[in-house]
Amino acid sequence: MKRTASALTGIALMIMSMALLALMDTTGKALTGTTPVLMVLFFRYFFQAVITTAVVLPTQGRAVIRTAHPRFQVVRGSLLFSCTLLSLYSLKYLPVGEFTAIVKISPLVITLFAAITLHERVSGLRWVLVFGGFLGTLLIVRPGGASFSWAMLLPLCMVALTASFQVLTSKMSGTEKGATTHFYTGWVGTLLAAIPMAFSWQALPLVTWGMLILMGVLGTTGHYLLILAYSQAPASTLTPYLYGQIGFAMLGGWLVFDHLPDAWSLAGIGLIAFCGAAGAWWTAREGRVLTPAASPS
């Protein structure tokens, strides 16, 4: 009974996390239309770092700074920073729903990498799901089609970085506190973004500052809820719910930008979500360790 309650708590936290992260991406797309991307990037991390520090330092003191693997914290923060940079440039040119769906092929890419580099045995069904996920991506991107643009390559580059980020996050979860990881992630990203931001500074209206603060709050809360979710339930239980972010992203794109994917893109989005969720279910059946697949933006 206790395990069931914990799993339900994890699922609820995961769904809330996906909704907040999709809203963060929607806010980020709105900002990139009027604000330099490097400024958005800096303040997305700065507000996360400040909010996290203000919350955790009074309750946990200097203990939150102690980490068993400082190098891993720096590498993880750098990977997330790179993912966020690619994410913002992707959102500047692409619809939120399509962008989110492409990023969600990360678990399928991890399966492919495991087969090629680690010579891991991959079942026939899993190969079919990997193929289906890539086919779904092609339906969205449609190389050579009228809707294709160079910007569609950005989330594909992000997928490779996402896979590394997910593997490292999974490895660190056994030794690092969630608050500690969140603390370092915010400040590493802030420091990395500080220098390039200085060259793109411009005066901003009050409403833009409000949106920047909102984006920081959404990112901070969404990623922390994600960490809490994995502390309540195993990844094999939670992963299918990660694909709910696609639905939230499409809703945000429709409400804010009046954008609805065309029939081919909808088919691709549906195929990616189905193959990803089916892959998570099959992984749980096989009893294997599943790497988290959240969009690390």
Of the chain, the end-to-end C-alpha distance in Å amounts to 35
The answer to whether position 107 is within a domain reads: yes
CB 197 within 8 A of CB 39: yes
The answer to whether position 292 is within a domain reads: no
b/e 102-139 (16+ beta carbons within 10 angstroms → b): bbbbbbbbbbbeeeeeeeeeeeeebeebbebbbebbeb
Write out pLDDT tens, residues 51-88.
888 888 888 888 888 888 888 889 988 998 998 899 89
The answer to whether position 28 is within a domain reads: yes
Residue 209 binned pLDDT confidence (cut-offs 50, 70, 90): very high
Query: Would the pTM count as exceeding 0.75?
Result: yes
Which pairs from 57-65 meet CB under 8 Å and 24+ separation?
60/179, 64/177, 64/179, 64/180, 64/183, 65/180, 65/183
Written as six digits, the tokens of 43 are 């303040």
Written as six digits, the tokens of 24 are 């963060």
Looking at residue 194, its pLDDT comes to: 92
Q: Rg for the chain (alpha carbons), in Å?
A: 19
The answer to whether position 291 is within a domain reads: no
The answer to whether position 295 is within a domain reads: no
The answer to whether position 294 is within a domain reads: no
Number of compact structural domains in the chain: 1
Domain, as residue range, for 219: 2-286
The answer to whether position 182 is within a domain reads: yes
Write out pLDDT tens, residues 232-266.
877 667 777 777 888 888 888 888 888 888 888 88
The answer to whether position 258 is within a domain reads: yes
